[in-house]
Amino acid sequence: MIGGDATDIIRTTGSLAFTQHSGNQTMNKLARTLFVSLFAVMAGVSPTAVQAAPSDEAAIKALEARFTSAFNAKDVDAIMKIYVPNESLVVFDVVPPRQYVGAKAYRKEWEGFFAMFKGPAKIELTDVSITADTTLGFGHSIQHVTGTDTKGQPIDLTVRVTDGYRKINGNWLIVHEHVSIPVDLDTLKPDPSSKP
Which one of 3.40.50.1220, 3.40.50.170, 3.10.450.50, 3.40.50.300 gives the CATH number of domain 54-190?
Answer: 3.10.450.50
Residue 161 Cα to chain centre, angstroms:
6
Q: Is the pLDDT of residue 41 over 60?
A: no
Distance between CA atoms of residues 31 and 178, nearest Å: 35
* Predicted local distance difference test score (pLDDT) of residue 177: 98
Say which range, 46-55, 90-99, 181-190, has the weakest mean pLDDT: 46-55
* Predicted local distance difference test score (pLDDT) of residue 115: 97
* Predicted local distance difference test score (pLDDT) of residue 37: 43
The structural domains of the chain, with segments of one domain joined by +, span 7-43, 54-190
Render pLDDT for 129-151 as a digit per residue (tens, 0 to 9).
999 999 999 999 999 999 999 99
Average pLDDT in the 180-195 region?
Answer: 86
